[in-house]
Amino acid sequence: MPQHSLEYDDRALSGHIDEKEREAYREPLAEAERLLVEKRGAGNDYLGWLELPTRQPADLLNEVVRTASHLREKADTMVCIGIGGSYLGTRAAVELLGPSFDDLRSPKILFAGHHLNSDYLSDLLKVLENREVTLNVISKSGTTTEPGVAFRVLRQWMEQRYGTEEAAARIVATTDPDKGALRNLARQEGYATLPIPPDIGGRFSVLTAVGLFPMAFAGINIEDLLSGAAEAAKQCTGAELEANPAARYAVNRNILFRRGLVIEVMATFQPHLHYLGEWWKQLAGESEGKQLTGLFPTVLDYTTDLHSVGQWMQEGLRNVFETLLVLSSTRKSLSVPAFSDNEDGLNYLAGKSLEEINNQACNGTLLAHLDGGVPVSTIRLADRTERSLGHFFYFFEKAIALSGYLLRVNPFNQPGVEAYKKNMFALLGKPGFEERFDELNRKMKGMGL
């Protein structure tokens, strides 16, 4: 059992990184830590997440729990409407902490607003027909296209089913505390509201009401979640590589990146960990991928994906390194039964637990990929609990913030996200984008589109 809820093990990197290389990062790392703690670095107006685990307002936590409890009395299903950081943390929590299959979960959290697809929304409305429903729409501005479109469809459905007044009583808007389109609509319609702090960006917002409220509705203990995050905040402080695992991880990935290993694979070894990887993928990619630099983060699910891209990982282009994400303990244990015919030749596994087999699959993968020239390190979560999850969230928030500063980019903005939005607005005829429409139309005609 790990000493902490999360442990970072980079011993397998010894053949790829030596301590002299890490030593060269001591001063840049110390400066990155100072920029964060003293709030002097780029994007310093978005550092509200730093002290959130220990300085969460008690009145907000009470309001989150009270509102969630009230809605559970009238609803068995919540539709969480958001995109990116507005939904990935909650989905990661539900997948990690809940049963493996949605039919076993009560109350249920379903998700919308993270794409533009009629079939998905139509099927969602069909699922909701026989359920008592509440909506949590999450958007700081209220004008983001994907959640905005989904909310329009679901709001209309709610008002037709429950009537305008009761529908409003079942809708909670998590948004800017003072301004914005969603805040104005909530005032107009009488929706309950929860605040997104102005000094916290979406991908760092999982420990705000953005994540805490739908988690509380799902029955997740948010106090234990914050306790785990506080443990991580205490552990991941200072610029000593031997004492701060988040800093060590940040330095290792920067060393490997500057060596030309431009892809980081987070490889999970339990199905419940998949959306932890998806949350990390947004955090890392949106924080670092700018100014023509930054690692490309991607997620693989082992052992499943060892039977799809395992060949590439073993012998493909050597521009990749791996961070394995594993669980130290599962909630239940099944063992392999013995059969006298042994036609499949698997009696040598009889009596062994699936955890033991999976652990050796993990060890075998680590050794094979090291032999294949892939640097590998490991993140170990103690268990599937709120405390471990909170530790995971904060560990990576701190690590990616440090990593971004080591790359000399602003880890807290995302200017590139606006490019596709502006094009989409113009192509859909949004007022004010007429000139861009003409320009794009000419480009498309030139490409024969």
Q: Tell me the pLDDT band of 192, cut-offs 50, 70 and 90.
A: very high
The predicted-structure confidence for 409-419, as pLDDT tens digits, reads as follows 999 999 988 88
HEC secondary structure over the chain? CCCCCEEEECHHHHHCCCHHHHHCCHHHHHHHHHHHHCCCCCCHHHCCCCCCCCCCCHHHHHHHHHHHHHHHCCCCEEEEECCHHHCHHHHHHHHHHCCCCHHHCCCEEEEECCCCCHHHHHHHHHHHCCCCEEEEEECCCCCCHHHHHHHHHHHHHHHHHHCHHHHHHCEEEEECCCCCHHHHHHHHHCCEEEECCCCCCHHHCCCCHHHHHHHHHCCCCHHHHHHHHHHHHHHCCCCCCCCCHHHHHHHHHHHHHHCCCCEEEEEECCHHHHHHHHHHHHHHHHHHCCCCCCCEEEEEECCHHHHCCHHHHHHCCCCEEEEEEEECCCCCCCECCCCCCCCCCCHHHCCCEHHHHHHHHHHHHHHHHHHCCCCEEEEEECCCCHHHHHHHHHHHHHHHHHHHHHCCCCCCCCCCHHHHHHHHHHHCCCCCCHHHHHHHHHHHHHCCC
CATH of region 58-220: 3.40.50.10490
pLDDT at position 2, please?
54
Instruction: Clarify whether 286 is annotated catalytic.
Output: yes
Instruction: Give pLDDT tens digits for 55-105.
Output: 999 999 999 999 999 999 999 999 999 999 999 999 999 999 999 998 999
Mean pLDDT of 322-341: 96
Active site residue 307: yes
The predicted structure's pLDDT at residue 428: 87
Q: Is 70 exceeded by the pLDDT of residue 151?
A: yes
Amino acid 345: pLDDT: 96
Question: Taking 50 as the threshold, does the pLDDT of residue 252 lie above it?
Answer: yes
Query: Do 6-41+226-406 and 58-220 share a fold?
Result: yes
Catalytic, 108? Answer: no
Residue in 74, 421, 422, 443 annotated catalytic: 421
From the list 33, 264, 286, 322, the catalytic residue is 286
Model confidence pLDDT, tens digit, residues 120-146: 999 999 999 999 999 999 999 899 999
Q: What's the pLDDT band for 438 if we cut at 50, 70, 90?
A: confident
- The predicted-structure confidence for 265-295, as pLDDT tens digits, reads as follows 999 999 999 999 999 999 999 999 999 999 9
Q: Domain spans of the chain? A: 6-41+226-406, 58-220
* 3.40.50.10490, 2.60.15.10, 3.40.109.10, 1.20.1260.10: CATH of 6-41+226-406: 3.40.50.10490
Average pLDDT over residues 6-26: 95
Q: Give the rounded percent of residues in the chain with a pLDDT score beyond 70.
A: 100
Average pLDDT, the chain: 96
Range in 78-82, 115-119, 133-137, 428-432 the model is least confident about: 428-432
Q: Kindly tell me if the per-residue pLDDT of 1 is higher than 50.
A: no
Q: What is the pLDDT of residues 205-247, one digit of tens each?
A: 999 999 999 999 999 999 999 999 999 999 999 989 999 999 9
pLDDT at 391 over 90: yes
Q: How many CA atoms lie within 13 A of 214 on its CB side?
A: 33
The residue annotated as part of the active site, out of 307, 332, 343, 435, is 307
